[in-house]
Amino acid sequence: MNNIRVLMTKPFFPEDIAYLRDELVEDVELVQPREFNVETLAEAVRDRIDALLGDQIAKPILDNAVQLRLIQVPWTGVDRLDFDLLKQYPVAVCNSHSNAGVVAEYAVGLMMAAVKKIPYHDRQLRKGKWMRPSQNGGSAFFPPDTMYGKTVGFIGYGAIARSIAEMLGGFRVRFIAADAGDYVSPPAPLDLVVGPDAVGEVASESDILFIAVPLTKKTEGVVNKDLFQRMKPGSYLINVSRGEVVNEADLYHALKDRQIAGAAVDTWFNYPTRDNPDALPSVNFPFHELDNLVLSPHRSGFAAGELPHLADAVENLNRLATGEPLINRVDLEAGY
């Protein structure tokens, strides 16, 4: 077993650090820099660093990291990495899929909230409005939709989508997917799997469409006006991927014009900053005014009292120390 020094390239919560120290083997040492800027990190890697934990990567850091063997991203998304830069260095890049289960649970919760219109009725009942079919000629009555017998589609069929499919098995639904994987036949429980160029086919057949694809140059804006036009008027979109996978304007108009029945979204187009901690999910469109949309503040990867997002990171750092093969290697050419 080798002594491994791991430089943290981003600040972690105290709970994260305690979890890492408890789960890492004794030969893995965590190194926290004075500050988390490029200059400080570039200087810190000179002191015999074997791995970086985080996704802040820059050329000065990599140039000084002569002993670096692993860049471990402690979550799934790697869209902020500079792949052209990383290709210049003989360093393994890995991410984490260990929170796929909790993201899938949350995605199913978003689906049920949207399909059953639970947040809408909650808001109305808080104002004393029961929205009964006998009131106002039934114009304000929005009954829940059903799941039984529906077709559930996935754009992207990775760990999260597979977990969602497993959880939804009891609803007796049909599963289809568009994915970049190399399939000889649809893996259970899928009835159909097509390539990314046939994503419209999946959209047109789906009653519920989950977006669970990584953000890359090829997937950016793949959910757009053309795709919404192919979706059923009674269908729902659930996004736990990245906001940029969906065209912002096209999503807003598809919902506002009732081109689709509704959506539930956990990843957005505008995020709070340190200077502006209170921010609406878009600066361009009033998504918050739509009554057929469930809004969620990028919360699907978290779980109370648990740190599932770090489990794969711990696994890889321990593997680096013991000389075992790494898991979740990122394909620098594909971008995920």
d(CA 266, CA 268): 7
- Cβ neighbours of 308 (radius 10 Å): 17
Angstrom distances, CA of residue 254 to CA of 55, 236, 293: 34, 11, 11
Q: Is the pLDDT of residue 262 over 80?
A: yes
Residues 81 and 91 in one domain: yes
User: Does residue 336 belong to any structural domain of this protein?
Assistant: no
Whether 157 and 244 share a structural domain: yes
Model pLDDT, residue 139? 67
Q: Does the structure show a pLDDT above 80 at 68?
A: yes
Three-class DSSP category at 208: strand
- Could you tell me if residue 329 is inside a domain? no
Q: Are 1 and 317 in contact (CB under 8 A)?
A: no
3-class secondary-structure state, position 211 = strand
CA dist 157 → 69, 104, 325 (Å): 29, 12, 24
At 80-92, the pLDDT tens digits run 999 999 999 999 9
Find, among 83, 34, 56, the residue nearest to 47 by Cα. Answer: 34
Looking at the structure, tell me whether residues 118 and 52 fall in a common domain.
no
Judge whether 267 lies within some domain.
yes
Lookup: tokens for 315: 């696994």
Q: Do 112 and 91 fall within a single domain?
A: no
In a domain, 200, yes or no: yes
If DSSP codes are grouped into helix, strand and coil, which group holds residue 120?
helix
Examine residue 301 and state whether it is found in any structural domain, yes or no. no
* Residue 242 DSSP SS3: coil
N- to C-terminal Cα separation, the chain: 30
Q: How confident is the model over 203-237, as pLDDT tens digits? A: 999 999 999 999 999 999 999 999 999 999 999 99
Interatomic CA distance for residues 202 and 16, integer angstroms: 39
Position 133 scores a pLDDT of 85
Q: Angle CA(42)–CA(46)–CA(48) in degrees, nearest 5? A: 130
**Confidence bin at 305 (pLDDT 50/70/90):** confident
In this model, does residue 304 exceed pLDDT 90? Answer: no
- Asked if residue 224 and residue 78 are part of one domain, the reply reads no
The torsion of the CA quartet 221, 94, 165, 300, rounded to 10 degrees, works out to -70
**pLDDT at residue 72 is higher than 70:** yes
How far, in Å, CA of 161 to CA of 233, rounded?
23
Question: Poorest-confidence range of 16-20, 208-212, 262-266?
Answer: 16-20
pLDDT band at 285 (very low <50, low <70, confident <90, very high): very high
Residue 74 lies in a domain: yes
Return the structure tokens found at 266: 């956990």
**Encoded tokens for 232:** 């059923």
Task: Tell me whether residue 204 is in a domain.
Answer: yes
The number of folded domains in the chain is 2
Q: Are 320 and 70 in contact (CB under 8 A)?
A: yes
Q: Are residues 87 and 147 in the same domain?
A: no
Check pLDDT > 70 for residue 137: no
Domain match, 20 and 129 both: no
Res 136: pLDDT: 67
CB neighbours of 195 closer than 8 A, spacing ≥ 6? 178, 179, 180
- Are residue 43 and residue 121 in the same domain, yes or no? no
Cis before 189 (ω within 30): yes
CB 55 within 8 A of CB 73: yes
Residues 245 and 161 in one domain: yes
What is this structure's pTM? 0.91
Same domain, 55 and 131: no
Q: Are residues 81 and 114 in the same domain?
A: no
Decide if 134 is inside a domain: yes
Residue 200 corresponds to which tokens in the numbers above? 């419209």
Q: What domain range includes position 209? A: 100-295
CATH code assigned at 68: 3.40.50.720
Give the pLDDT of residue 142. 86
For residue 138, what pLDDT band results from cuts at 50, 70 and 90?
A: low
- Report, in angstroms and rounded to the nearest whole number, the Rg of the chain calculated over CA atoms: 22
Q: Of residues 168 and 137, which shows the higher confidence score?
A: 168
Co-location of 175 and 266 in the same domain? yes
